[in-house]
Every structure is written in C-alpha cells, then in structure tokens.
Amino acid sequence: MKYTRIPHTDIRISKICLGTMTWGRQNTQDEAFEQMDYALDQGVNFFDTAELYPIPPKKELYAVTEEFIGNWFKKTGNRDKVVLASKIAGPGHGGKHIRSTGFSKESIIGAVEGSLKRLQTDYIDLYQLHWPERNTNYFGQRGFNSHAIDVWEDNIHQILETLRDLIAEGKIRHVGLSNETPWGAMRYLEESKVHQSLPRMLTIQNPYSLLNRLFEVGLSEISTREKIGLLAYSPMAFGVLSGKYLSEIPPRKARITLFPNYSRYSSDTATQATEQYAQLAKEHGLSMAQMALAFVNTRPFLTSNIIGATTMEQLKENIESIDVDLSDEVLEGIEAIHNAIPNPAP
C-alpha cells in the first residue's frame, strides 16, 4: 500500500480508501465485515462512510452502513487501526427522511452524536458536509443556474463555529467538504483564514474519474495552492469503467442494473468514451478497472481514492490498482480520448 497524509495534519492514510455506500443494500453485514477485514490486511487504513448510506437512500435503511461499521469495531477491536470519515447529509437530494433543518447548530450536533452512537466510537477522524445547503451545481449538474430559487442565507461562519466546538469536545478531529464547488471551497477556506479560531476544511470529496474530470477546472488549482486534498469518489463511475456494461446483457446484480436511475455515467457519449478506454486498456494488456483507478492514483491533487465493491473479487482488483504503473503511452492515450470526448458524465 502507498500512503499520504490528510493535509495540514500528521494523520497517515492509505492512498486507497475503502468506500462503504453499498453496505446494507447490495452487501450484507457479513460481507461488509469480510471487506473490512481484507482491506485492513492489505494496508487500507482509511474508511469513508456517511449517515446517508446505504445508497440509494431509503428511510427504513437510514444509517445502516454506519451500524455495520460500529458492529465490526465492537467485534474486532480495530477502531484504533482505522482513520474513519463520515458525513452529515444536507437537505433534499435523498436526505429528506433524515432532517429538514440543514446545517443548523442543532442539526450538526445531533448528526455527530447519532453517528458516534452507531459507529460505537468516541470520535470521528474526518467529518464532512455531504453536499451544500445552497442552490448550486452538483450531482451531475454541469452548470450553475443563477435563476433557480435559493432561500439559503450564508451560515458558513456558524457551521465552522459548531464544528470547532465539536473538535474541542473531542468528538471529531478534523473537517472536510463534499460535492463542493470552487466558490464554496474558497468561501470556507477564507472564513477560517479571517477567523483563525475556526477550523480549516482539509479535504474535499468530489467525483473524479476518466469520465468526469471537472475537478481539474477550478478546484484542482484551489487544491494545489490551498492544500485541500481531493478524496476522489466514483473513480469507477458506478462500475461503468470496469467495462461490464458494454456487453449486450448487463450483469444481473450490478448497480446500474438494480438501480437504473443511477445513469449519470451511462449516456451515449459516456458509453462512447468508455468503449475507447476499454480498447486502450486491451491494447496495453491492462484490466480496464485497474487502468481507471491507476489513472486517478497518479493525480497530484489526490489525497485518497475511494473505491467501492460488492464482491471480494472486485475489492481485490481495486486495491491492487495501487501497484499498477501506467506508461507514458497509456497516459497519452487517455489524454487523447479525453480531448476528443471531455467530461461526458459531469
């Protein structure tokens, strides 16, 4: 395994992060336990979860994923071996069954307390805002709609104050963003610069893959200059970049087969790009999945690459991507495809 550090800290984390969003819908607790056991044995010490998980969200399954992790901690005693990240759900976008009060002080405190109880731990290493409260372009929206109704009032100072108090209490150690825009990232960073008693956002968990490299537009410069590390999610584009959906008969238990609404990476243009990436991998004797993950691993702004798997075979292949080195020829081939079909799946 290769390791990085959460920016501005001495916390050493694996460059491969174990994602957990399928646990409770596509994976049983026993399967989740097996994944955690194996990942830890392979040197993966960074796990990411959220109160919203499993995905797709469902009221009856609220926060089951966190419960699985907490039960594993209780069974194995491995809490001190894991750097643990979780998130508070924002309003709307699948979180309506959780709360409707956004990131108010009471909401954040209640969310942290709930996660701590389910995770059976006294602290969370990295606590993230799952998506913004305000109207902006995220979750597949390519541009910002300035005409959309937005009742949000700037509460970023209050959010950081609440997070500061939770850090002082020892319930969380550090904070980060998720599904955030360049404006939002800088707004949080500048607030903590002006008011130095407030915590600094250290990471940003956004989508990044061969099919969606929009992080490179704006956010990559912020990441590099401000040292806010990318935690890349959906590096396999919901499994599309394994090539398994290119067959005429899609795999029966695969994510997009089970949940066809998750079609962000399945447009005609995205499929065209996927076919070309599959051909490039084949020409160089590479697993398409490992090529896709290895590409993300090479990015200079990456802090950790969040993988997810529903089978042990997928998990092993994904973790092994850390040992795959892409040749200059492969990287040039990737750029050629990207330049011809840029960001087909925002």
What are the catalytic residues? 53
Residue 115 to residue 63: CA distance in whole angstroms: 8
Secondary element (H or E) of residue 223 = helix 219-226
Strand partners, 212: 209
Q: What are phi and psi of 339, to 5 degrees?
A: -65, -30
Residues sharing a CB contact under 8 Å with residue 323, sequence separation 6 or more, in sequence order: none
| Angle in degrees, 0-180, between the axes of helices 288-297 and 312-320, rounded to the nearest 10 | 50
Residue 117: CB atoms within 10 Å = 13
Q: Are 7 and 38 in contact (CB under 8 A)?
A: no
At 167, list the tokens: 């850090």
Residue 188 to residue 99: CA distance in whole angstroms: 23
Cα-based distances in Å from 180 to 56, 96, 204, 247, 298: 20, 19, 7, 34, 22
